[in-house]
Amino acid sequence: MFRRLFEPQNPVAFDFEGETVTAGEDDTVAAALLAHGIRHTRTSAVSGSPRAAHCLIGACFECLVEIDGRPNRQACLTLVRPGMRVRRQAGPAAMKNGGGA
């Protein structure tokens, strides 16, 4: 659906769900995933339906992903880094230190 206007000068590779994605060094994670043709980047915490980036300006929270083990990152506000590990945000994240008192 999305097509790059020009190929990146300095490509950066990162991992999305086990797949290697190549991006421009100034790409946001959301832009890189969209350019790579990935149409499902999170699952709604409320309805369970598949979602992907929408507003691309940090307002709508549709683009949430897990980055290097940290949940609920906004892919549209995060620049790509070589070797980063990105996963779909599957529903609501559990609180990290969610144990007892």
Q: Which residues bind other proteins (CB under 8 A)?
A: 45-46, 61, 72, 91-101
Q: Which is nearer to other proteins, 61 or 84 (CB)?
A: 61
Per-residue tokens: 41:
């980047």
Minimum CB separation of residue 11 from other proteins in Å reads 30
Nearer to other proteins, 18 or 98 (CB): 98
Phi and psi torsions of 78, nearest 5°: -115, 125
Burial of 96 (0-12, 13-18, 19+ CB in 10 A): exposed
Minimum distance of other proteins from residue 45's CB (angstroms): 5
